[in-house]
């Protein structure tokens, strides 16, 4: 069956394997950054012990922002969810990742604006010790948290808005418009057509 010039169906846009793995890398880096932020000392305080000596004690990000470790673990789970899903379900996963990044970004804003550095408790301080001076903040942990929040938001937005350009796991990663080699086996040809996104019952698609 012949068709007039210009009447051929336009090929579907090729799906980008690189875009999918870029998103996976962004989420993995975000999870590692958030984990690192939880382990860093955010606040340091000097104390005078009952024995007359001075000691320093730090409060880690995990004490001040206890959601950092769970969010890092959730990021690892999000990687599996992005790889395992497709279509609208993958877009929903992307939206959830972006929301998680936005929530963490809001927490960073609160930390900067309201100075919630004193919400944790310094450990390894002998009983009866008294604080000396004010707490000294260490900004690196909070900056890492901000970076993790940004990475999650960007990765989630890419998944939510460009999920259609990302291949599903197990796909052949070839351009849907690329022609498959014709097979003399009708059953095999039918599977080739389905894999290429063509209707095996439509002669025009062939």
List the chain domain ranges.
17-172, 174-206
pLDDT at residue 7 is higher than 60: no
Which one has a higher pLDDT value, 134 or 59? 59
pLDDT attached to residue 139: 85
What is the predicted pLDDT for the residue at 46?
77
The mean predicted confidence, pLDDT, of the chain is: 77
Sorting pLDDT into bands at 50, 70 and 90, what band is 44?
confident
Q: Which of 34-38, 50-54, 142-146 has the lowest mean pLDDT?
A: 50-54
Task: Please name the CATH architecture into which domain 17-172 falls.
Answer: Up-down Bundle (1.20)
**Average pLDDT for 73-80:** 94
Mean pLDDT (whole number) for 91-105: 95
Per residue in 172-201, pLDDT (tens digit) is: 444 444 444 554 556 566 666 665 556 656
Nearest to 33 by CA among 180, 127, 155: 155
Extract the tokens encoding 183. 């097979």
Q: Please tell me the pTM assigned to this model.
A: 0.68
**Whether pLDDT at 119 is above 70:** no
Helices 17-39 and 87-114 cross at an angle (nearest 10°) of 30
What does the pLDDT read at residue 167? 82
pLDDT at 31: 96
Residues in Cβ contact with 63 at an 8 Å cutoff, skipping those fewer than 6 apart = 120, 121
pLDDT of 116 strictly over 80: no
CA 53 to chain centre: 46
* Cβ contacts of 84 within 8 Å, gap of 6 or more: 169
45: buried, middle or exposed (CB in 10 Å: 19+, 13-18, 0-12)?
buried
Residue percentage of the chain with pLDDT more than 70: 66
| Total residues belonging to the chain | 206
**What is the C-alpha separation between 115 and 132, in angstroms, rounded?**
19
């Amino acid at each position: 069956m012949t068709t007039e010039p210009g009447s051929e169906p336009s090929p579907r846009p090729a799906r980008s394997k690189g875009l999918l793995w870029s998103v996976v890398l962004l989420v993995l880096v975000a999870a590692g950054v958030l984990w690192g932020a939880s382990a860093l000392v955010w606040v340091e305080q000097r104390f005078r012990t009952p024995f007359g000596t001075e000691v320093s004690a730090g409060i880690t990000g995990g004490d001040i922002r206890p959601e950092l470790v769970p969010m890092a673990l959730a990021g690892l789970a999000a990687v599996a969810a992005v790889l395992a899903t497709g279509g609208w379900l993958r877009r929903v996963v992307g939206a959830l990742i972006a929301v998680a990044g936005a929530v963490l970004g809001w927490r960073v804003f609160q930390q900067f604006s309201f100075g919630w550095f004193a919400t944790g408790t310094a450990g390894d301080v002998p009983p009866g010790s008294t604080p000396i001076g004010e707490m000294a903040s260490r900004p690196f942990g909070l900056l890492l948290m901000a970076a993790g929040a940004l990475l999650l938001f960007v990765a989630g937005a890419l998944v939510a808005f460009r999920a259609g350009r990302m291949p599903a796991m197990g796909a052949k990663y070839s351009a849907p418009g690329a022609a498959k080699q014709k097979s003399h086996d009708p059953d095999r040809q039918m599977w080739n057509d389905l894999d290429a996104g063509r209707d095996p019952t439509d002669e025009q698609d062939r």
